[in-house]
Amino acid sequence: MVYAAKRLNEAGVRTFRMDMRACGAGEGLSRMPYHAGCSDDLLTSLERVASICPASPISLVGFSIGGNTTLKLAGEAAHNLPSQLTRLVAISPPIDLGLCVGRFSTGAARFYDRYIARSHYRHLLRSEALIENAPYVSEGFRPRGQRDFDTWYTAAMWGFETVDDFYAETSACHVVSEIRVPTLLIASRDDPLVPVELFERIESQRSIKLHVTDHGGHLGFIGRRGIDADRRWLDWRIVDYITADRAASANMAA
């Protein structure tokens, strides 16, 4: 996010970076945790940006979980989005959360599964607000993986009967067919966390341009030297897509 924002700034694009609830600058302020389906939070932030920049076109970029949130919002609120929203970019979004979390328990992803669960748990313990209504967290709760964490904490805190209900209702795959804003979706065939087959199912969606690379893992897109200004291939694709209309206008003016 930081590098992409820097490149956009250098291209003359004003940027805003959003912290999910209870994260970053918002840590300790929220009584509820974030999750991949917090599209209402994203819409509130988007409307705020639109009010600050009423005459500017707006592009929305989501990375990984943020990509799922972006696509979910664009699909479920297709007719209620700010009129300035003209483009979306989603990179490696886990649009079927149940399926993706299931992959965490296989292969090399198992190490990430344990790491992210421990990270979430430590995050909880730092915030009295987040565990105020979940006393079991401080009474010996130790998640072994992401599904375990979501079962005992996230799904329970948000009032879902089961973790599978939680994954189903917060996944973007059910609403992507409703997306009307032009969207660039970037994914990799060797992503260990998000199977590329999820995106090939929506390849025919008119509003979505799907770009699948052979390599790149999960958000690890590095290019050859000499093609772009540096090897951060993903940053330059974001800049190219967001500034495409501006480039076309310049060419027309010339």
The predicted pLDDT at position 128 comes to 85
Burial of 105 (0-12, 13-18, 19+ CB in 10 A): middle
Give yes or no for a contact between 21 and 39, defined as CB atoms under 8 angstroms apart: no
The predicted pLDDT at position 138 comes to 62
- Contacts with 173 (C-beta within 8 Å, 6 or more apart), sequence order: 95, 96, 198, 201, 202
The predicted pLDDT at position 252 comes to 40
Residue 249 binned pLDDT confidence (cut-offs 50, 70, 90)? very low
The predicted pLDDT at position 248 comes to 52
Domain ranges of the chain: 2-96+175-253, 101-170
Task: Centre a 10 Å sphere on the Cβ of residue 86 and count the other Cβ atoms it contains.
Answer: 15
- Contacts with 247 (C-beta within 8 Å, 6 or more apart), sequence order: none
Q: What is the pLDDT of residues 13-35, one digit of tens each?
A: 999 999 999 998 888 888 899 99
The helix (H) or strand (E) run that includes residue 87 is: strand 85-91
Q: In the CATH scheme, what is the code of domain 2-96+175-253?
A: 3.40.50.1820
> What is the rounded average pLDDT of the residues 209-237?
94
Q: Is 99's pLDDT higher than 90?
A: yes
Q: What is the pLDDT of residues 100-144, one digit of tens each?
A: 999 988 887 888 899 999 999 888 888 888 888 776 676 667 888
Rounded Cα–Cα distance for residues 121 and 101 (Å): 17
